[in-house]
Structure 1
Amino acid sequence: MNQQSVRRLWVCLALFCLYNGALAQPPRGPLVVSPQVNADKTVTFRYQAPQAKAVELSAQFEKAPVPMTKDAQGIWSATVGPVKPDIYPYNFRVDGVSVMDPANVAFFPNERFKASLVDVPGDTPLIHAMRDVPHGSINYEYYPSMEGTTGSVVVYTPPGYDQSPTKKYPVYYLISGTTDTEETFFKVGKTNLILDNLLAEGKVKPMIIVMPYGNIAARVAEQKGGTKPADPTVRDGADAVKRANDFTTDLVSNVIPYVEKNYRAIANRENRAIGGFSRGGGQTLRAAFSNMDKFAWVCAYSSYLSPQEIDSNFSQIVAKPEQTNKQLKLLWVSVGSDDFLYKGTVEFMDYLKAKKVNYKSLITGGGHTWMNVKTYVAATTPLLFQQ
């Protein structure tokens, strides 16, 4: 084969590769920017769906789905607001099917619903905003858990942790709600940024924060090839209590030992706090009340235990209030006035008061939302480990 023939063969091969590469590429539509936060705090959402018959925006700052309009390129859009600065979940309903925003990399980690996140910044940086301050680290850890499974936690270490190899820190175990994952306090609650900012202001003590996954039954089923069980139908029913007890066992027997072996944690009750949101708050109260030798600081966000459950399972907490008040450096209860758990949480606070068990409380506006959770984290962490 002469040189000219070789050259022609290479040209043919190049054209063939380009042709096949073009066939392999999915068709590209127009660039979609979504969400777009405007200077006046309105937000524009866009979704490309040329064949869709109807697209709606479902956002936690809207009372009802917002219809979107389609342009000539098949891009649906809606501008809403102005929106109060905060971080909100949202999704699109495309011909009745809920979908995430494919143009947005920020998402809400959750077992059930799939939502994207929009961050509407304040004119002055909010407590969860990224600021020009020293930042801690986020680590993903895996530990030996129940029934031969592998558990997962997200761990925050404060600024300076790696630069101070002999310094030890108190630990706050922080548990997400029903259907949330170990990432939710990090990716939605922005707990790491809240702590960074409060530390920069000198309002909190440096601490390690451990964020575990709360659904032990789901993880066991997933790793052993089973079917994920449905959530308990009664918040304080036998199934819910058993699952909470399983979480307590995993926390005390597996998570805490792993953390205290692999991180420079101060290993005593005065330097351990536990808190949680919703189901995680119920797990918090059950774990703390059954392990008063392990935790001195307890924070329940949008959660409670019924008087009946306390009388049945944790009678020592209310039978000797003087001893309980001495043991607990902090018992915190908070809830939103529009929260569906408001009534039960207020009854819980009234019960504690009647039994002379000391607690601090905060009732905010709003409902069962992560906007409120960020408020509660910012309010409670300055109280922790203040000896």
Structure 2
Amino acid sequence: MKSKTILLALLAVCTFSLKAQQALWGGAPIVSPEVNDDKTVTFRFFAPKADTVLVTGDFLPTEKVKTPFGEADAPINALMKKDEKGVWSYTSDKLASELYSYSFIVDGLKVSDPNNVYMIRDVASITDVFIVGGGKADLYSVNDVPHGTVARRWYNSPGNEMARRLTIYTPPRYEEGKTKYPVLYLLHGMGGDEEAWIALGRTSQILDNLIAQGKAEPMIVVMPNGNVAQQAAPGESPKGLYKPTFQLPHTMDGTYEETFMDVINFVESNYRVKKDKAHRAIAGLSMGGYHSLHISRYYPNTFDYVGLFSAAILPDQKMESKVYNDIDGTLKKQIENGYKLYWIGIGKTDFLYKSSVDFGAKLDSLGMKYTYVESEGGHIWKNWRDYLTEFVPLLFK
């Protein structure tokens, strides 16, 4: 009798939930977000007793806010309107083709959209996402093209004295042949992990589409965990389920650079790859750009292609590791050894803009050639996906 009562209670809760979000307009489900034909997007949220519902996201105009790292751009909040059925709605202006993220704020509480199952984690924040197609975001979509394989692999890291996890993309038909491929090592930013580039960066979709269009060489992309105190992303290691944090021990202290050969050794021992400088590239965003800069100069005859995406170059930071000794000398060694591409991208309103410009001036003084790209916006995934789509077609030509 007791179990029957519990079952009836559960059914009542489920029925109420379904009615709350679907039994509107004659039983039709709520559609949110809805990308309209004119590229505006309509958001809807059922909350008849709420006093205020806002929507916020990177599709909205921004305002300056203070962060521990300086000023940054943050999206404003837009007020939604409630109809007679208790459904709040907001329709955006026409949006450019892009992958966007958003959340609702209901009476001061930030919540996810119950009608959108597509969500992405960024450090400890979960946001809903949607894609406006018909432009560059078509590269971020799963299209009818040959697809590569995405795997999560564990490798032994003697330098860190632990098993560690990475994400690896192999191109279409890798499993069917004997071809050896070039490798791009793609590094995440602070607070990220081996899931960041594949989820937020849409790496597998971008590579599938660029390769299918003949704009990129088939390649393997390795996305390691750059937090040497971590075995793997939160929830993916024996540590269990815990709240992710932004900064971990040994962040940007030289340990990752010193032990990076553990990653390369694993890849070159377990995958069909071309094991020479001409077929290795390294790139990363923010902290990953910092790591890419220093790994490429610490091992100055290892990579022919280097990409710094909004690199966290912090000239005032005290760096005691041997990795950071003789920076100018090792950069000169890179020049002497030769390389094919040194690529720097930065947003005009990025809080790291000045340090990127200053680093460019250092390279100028050393006579080191590089490609420099400025984009609109700040320290955001929108820019980093753009940089990846610009950088990848330049590799291994």
TM-score in same-fold range (> 0.5)? yes
The residue number in structure 1 matching 2:211 is 199
Alignment of 1:1-387 (within 5 A): 20-25=6-11, 26=13, 27-28=16-17, 29-31=20-22, 32-63=30-61, 64-122=76-134, 126-145=138-157, 149-164=162-177, 166-219=178-231, 223=238, 231=247, 240-242=251-253, 245-253=254-262, 255-306=263-314, 313-315=324-326, 317-318=328-329, 321=332, 324=335, 326-386=337-397
Which structure has the highest helix share of the two? 1
The answer to whether the 8 Å contact 1:306/1:348 transfers is no
- Give percent identity, aligned residues only: 34
Range with greater deviation from structure 2 (309-318 or 24-33): 309-318
Query: Which amino acid is the alignment partner of residue 287 of structure 1?
Result: I
Distance in 2 of aligned mates of 1:356 and 1:72 = 67
Q: Distance in 2 between matches of 1:140 and 1:320?
A: 33
Letter in 1 for 2:115: A
CA RMSD of aligned residues (A): 3.1
Q: Which residue of structure 2 lines up, in the alignment, with residue 3 of structure 1? A: none
Structure 1 residue runs of 4+, over 6 Å off?
16-19, 225-229, 308-312
Post-superposition offset of 1:342: 1.3
CA 1:89 to 1:124, structure 2 compared with 1: closer, same or farther past 3 Å? Answer: closer
Q: Which whole-Å CA distance do the structure 1 matches of 2:246 and 2:198 have between them?
A: 25
Shift of 1:60: 0.8
Letter of the structure 1 residue corresponding to residue 8 of structure 2: A
**Mean alpha-carbon deviation: is it higher for 71-80 or for 55-64?**
71-80
Amino acid at match of 2:372: S
- Find the aligned partners of 2:77 and 2:243 in 1 and give their Cα distance: 33
Q: For the residues of structure 1 that align with 2:193 and 2:330, how far apart are their CA atoms? A: 35
* TM-score, reference length from structure 1: 0.83
Deviation at 1:72, TM superposition (A): 4.3
Match of 2:101, as an amino acid? P
In 2 relative to 1, CA 132–247 (structure 1 residues): closer, same or farther, beyond 3 Å?
Answer: same
SS of aligned partner of 1:214: coil
Equivalent residue pairs, number: 363
Secondary structure of 2:134 counterpart: coil
Q: Secondary structure at the match of 1:298?
A: strand
CA contact (8 A) 1:336 1:342 kept: yes
Gaps of 5+ in 2: 23-29, 62-75
Q: Secondary structure at the match of 1:127?
A: helix
1:326-355 alpha-carbon deviations (Å, 9 max, x no partner): 333221111111222112111111221122
Distance 1:319 1:261 in 2: 27
Between the aligned partners of 2:47 and 2:114, the Cα distance in structure 1 is 11
How far apart are 1:206 and its partner, in Å? 1.0
Q: Is the 8 A contact 1:57 1:90 kept in 2?
A: yes
Partners of 1:96 and 1:172 lie apart in 2 by 43
Q: Give the distance between the partners of 1:52 and 1:142, measured in 2 at CA.
A: 47
Return the offset for 1:304. Answer: 4.9
Q: How far apart are the structure 2 equivalents of 1:198 and 1:271? A: 18
Q: 1:315 to 1:149 in 2, by over 3 A?
A: closer
Q: Aligned with 1:88: secondary structure?
A: strand
- CA displacement at 1:19 relative to structure 2: 6.2
Kept after mapping to 2: 8 A contact 1:336/1:366: yes
AA matched with 1:132: D
Q: CA separation in 2, counterparts of 1:135 and 1:312?
A: 38
Matches of 2:117 and 2:154 in 1, distance apart? 25
Q: Is the 8 A contact 2:169 2:221 kept in 1?
A: yes
The structure that has the greater radius of gyration is 1
Provide the TM-score with structure 2 as the length reference. Answer: 0.81
Runs of 5+ consecutive residues of structure 1 not aligned to the other structure:
1-12, 233-237
Matching residue's letter, 2:155:
Y
Kindly tell me: are residues 351 and 147 of structure 1, through their superposed partners in 2, closer, same or farther at Cα, counting changes over 3 Å?
A: closer
